[in-house]
Structure 1
Amino acid sequence: MTSRNQQLFEKSQQLIPGGVNSPVRAFRSVGGTPIFFKKGLGSRLWDADGKEYIDYINSWGPMILGHAHPEVVAAVQQAAANSLSFGAPTGLELEMAELINRLVPSMEQVRLVSSGTEATMSAIRVARGFTKRNKIIKFEGCYHGHADALLVKAGSGLLTFGEPSSAGVPAEVAAHTLTLDYNNTQMLKDTFASIGDEIACVILEPVVGNMNLIVPQQEFLQTLRALCTQHGTVLIFDEVMTGFRVALGGAQALYGITPDMTTLGKVIGGGLPVGAFGGRKEIMSVLAPLGPVYQAGTLSGNPVAVSAGLTTLKLVQAPGFYESLTAKTTQLVDGLKAAAQKAGVPFSAQSVGGMFGLYFSASTPTSYAEMMQADKSAFNTFFHSMLDSGIYLGPSAFEAGFVSAAHSNADIAQTVQAAEIAFATL
């Protein structure tokens, strides 16, 4: 009998490219049929066939409170009753800006947008307008949305200038993007020594979540901050994923590094599409209507989405929230490592706040090159075994995972038990 998931996917492929509205959902990396979901509550999801799963994707991070949190749902319902959109200022936007500034003090001024891609794209435009320079630096394996200038192949060696890694991106658009190795402090020093005064900005995920979870080395972050200051380069922390996920003040609070600009998304929308970018007032003042850098959005600051985000951000400020979230995530990671060791499977794992990474390699990777050496085939087998057991992980060996406040000790114990079965198949 054909499952409802299979029926939906077959029909979707006729109407939607690849049958999905975001590529990783297609299960191309792991094989098999993608899951179509119809309900989420707390730590659980239910698919189109009615099967129940413990969710470790959490909509790729935003559902830090779990699915359908009653206070968030109530806030959305109340806001929606007053109109879904105005295309004009509301007091909620100001409340959100004030809260972000209080929790992330480096963001002296904030502008709301509707996605993480829009936030990073706009932040880079502002940095270029502020510095009057064109070159930007990103790091291999870091993903900052699908803006043209950021879809650049990473190559080996110093000063790998941009080659588009997506069709439809003109080479001349990507030509000003340099890609360096994450956590490679010497490469940073050499690059800035060569062309430091030509670089408008450096953008990075301070904790990488888009080549699985890669943790920054403190020396790397400190050197980056010092070099940007020395050369008048704008340092942008892309905290779309890490913002309010790894700590209340984001990765910048966790590691004690103050960027010039920050981009946010995911958690600040509470599950609805909200993004933000902000930074020092002198930098943000180049934005229209004050300055020459143009950026606009009809649905920016949408009242329904902002209401969901505000309620989420208020709830995560509860005493002990992040300590509890971190402890749960550590408990999960430790349980998985113990299960792998018992089965004799080469495996490592780590976590930061409510994010975690699983690697089929003997040690935790610190760079894109090391991550690529992990056993992708082993992950795929593990993934499908876990899925069969009702554990929903990211359908790729190169994605971080997420724990929510709704996950219980019983959820984690059930996950570890499923992993023991999965490791035994390898």
Structure 2
Amino acid sequence: MSRSEELFLKAKTMIPGGVNSPVRAFKSVGGTPPFIRSGQGAHITDVDGKVYIDYVGSWGPLIVGHTHPHVVEAICRAAENGCSFGAPTEAEITLAERIIERFPGMEMVRLVNSGTEAVMSAIRLARAATGRDVLVKFEGCYHGHADGLLVAAGSGLATFGVPTSPGITRAAARDTLVLPFNDLTAVETLWAERGNEIAAVIVEPVAGNMGCVLPLPGFLEGLRNVCDTHGSLLIFDEVMTGLRVDRGGAQTLYNIRPDLTTLGKIIGGGLPVGAYGGPAKWMEMIAPAGPVYQAGTLSGNPLAVAAGLATLDLLDAPGAYATLAAKTRYLVKGLDQVMCANNIPCLINHVGSMFGLFFTSAQTVANFTDVSNGDINRFNLWFHGMLQEGIYLAPSAFEAGFVSLAHEETMLDQTLTMAERVAGQLRAA
């Protein structure tokens, strides 16, 4: 029995499912998750000593790689002065200033402790700003585990949402409506019927929680238009895409200005942090400037702020984003060639340094149904084959992959060599 297997069995006796976040348990792909001991650059090493090339990167934020010396030095320097004060620090202002500079519509920003908290707070603000209750989200987009967001679609556009987890009341779910991602007709129909009730629509501008699904031309523009027409707010959940697909996130890449933006731990170099921001007229409604309450002792904690500033330093180096995009294109092109050579139906979406691989013969993957119709069993075989060969991918067909500045060309080539080997096994099977 491996050390990871021993630890997993032990963990299950004390931690629900043996993990502290569900996807880590490998439930959708089967098998035992490797327990990670350390990370360096684009590599992680498990407790059994096996080294992997990592395309998860702590689910996206490690865009400069694991334990980058500049980031580690910044964290250590901050820790020497104190890990938490529950009081304001000068560095918080610097980080806020640098975030605001990146996102054109963001005049003010509030630091929080996670992406979930950022989303929860932005929705509360949107409801306060509009005086309305209803929120619209899209199937397959994940915005954290707040009660009103763990909701599935009802039987039609006019129905309220249905809770997808025990413990969520109908009252918490009823003010959330769910539409298909990339379906602008459904959006326009809903707003025509109930636009005066809708406080906001929240969207991942690139849906990274169903495997990197890009917005179809006109979709994001259509969301902006219906919100402008009906007085609803447009919230971009850039917890995954912010700083990842472009220096100013997806809103800069696609030239769409949301009313509110949420960000996640990438702004803290992977440490626990989040943020939400927008125009001053909305943000000044947040306590203590205004009546909308939100607070947190660890918000803007010194370690996360220091790591975030160090990460932004590295991302602001000349050519950083061009390099990330080029690495990703190289990997995706190679994977596509491997699949074609082995006659395996496959579609690979990518944008910036995000990518998603779908085992499907479809020409496009544009929504949750498209992803679900892919060959999930083949993905699971692919995942375990790559894991065996030392390539660490997200353990779910519904998750994106990420390339970092630490992924050198030799690592990308090694990944493609292993992909060729695994694809051959899939073809034979």
Amino acid at match of 1:261: L
Check whether the contact 1:139–1:182 (CA below 8 A) recurs between aligned residues: yes
Aligned residue in 2 for 1:179: 178
Amino acid at match of 2:40: L
Aligned residue in 2 for 1:391: 391
1:155 positional shift:
4.7
Aligned residue in 2 for 1:239: 238
2:181 & 2:241 partners in 1: Cα distance? 16
Q: CA offsets, 1:127-167, max 9 Å, x none? A: 00111110000000000000000000135642442110011
Cα gap change, 1:301 to 1:157, in 2 (>3 Å): same
Aligned residue in 1 for 2:302: 303
Cα gap change, 1:415 to 1:159, in 2 (>3 Å): farther
TM-score, scaled relative to structure 2: 0.98
Amino acid at match of 2:381: T
Check whether the contact 1:37–1:46 (CA below 8 A) recurs between aligned residues: yes
Does 2:154 correspond to 1:137? no
1:229-378 to structure 2, matched below 5 A, reads 229-362=228-361, 363-378=363-378
1:45-84 to structure 2, matched below 5 A, reads 45-84=44-83
Check whether the contact 2:245–2:352 (CA below 8 A) recurs between aligned residues: yes
Cα gap change, 1:255 to 1:274, in 2 (>3 Å): same
Check whether the contact 1:133–1:198 (CA below 8 A) recurs between aligned residues: yes
Say which SS state the counterpart of residue 357 (structure 1) adopts.
strand
2:189 & 2:3 partners in 1: Cα distance? 55
1:185 positional shift:
0.8
1:116 & 1:34 partners in 2: Cα distance? 24
Say which SS state the counterpart of residue 161 (structure 1) adopts.
coil
Amino acid at match of 1:409: E
Aligned residue in 2 for 1:165: 164
Check whether the contact 1:218–1:255 (CA below 8 A) recurs between aligned residues: no
1:150 & 1:398 partners in 2: Cα distance? 18
1:419 & 1:156 partners in 2: Cα distance? 41
1:266 positional shift:
2.3
Check whether the contact 2:104–2:257 (CA below 8 A) recurs between aligned residues: no
Amino acid at match of 2:299: S
Cα gap change, 1:163 to 1:305, in 2 (>3 Å): same
Amino acid at match of 1:383: F
Q: CA offsets, 1:348-399, max 9 Å, x none? A: 1121001000000123400111111000000000111100100000000100
Task: Structure 2: state its 5+ residue gaps.
Answer: none
Identity across the alignment (%): 56
1:108 positional shift:
0.7
Check whether the contact 1:349–1:364 (CA below 8 A) recurs between aligned residues: no
Does 2:370 correspond to 1:406? no
TM-score, scaled relative to structure 1: 0.99
Say which SS state the counterpart of residue 83 (structure 2) adopts.
coil
Amino acid at match of 2:16: P
1:211 & 1:84 partners in 2: Cα distance? 35
Q: CA offsets, 1:298-327, max 9 Å, x none? A: 100001111001110121011111111001
1:105 positional shift:
2.1
Dislocated runs of 4+, deviation >4 Å: none
Give the aligned CA root-mean-square deviation in angstroms: 0.9
Q: CA offsets, 1:226-283, max 9 Å, x none? A: 1101111111000000000000000000000000000001210101011000101111
Say which SS state the counterpart of residue 419 (structure 2) adopts.
helix
Amino acid at match of 1:382: W
Aligned residue in 1 for 2:421: 421
Q: CA offsets, 1:76-115, max 9 Å, x none? A: 0000000000100000111011101111121111000010
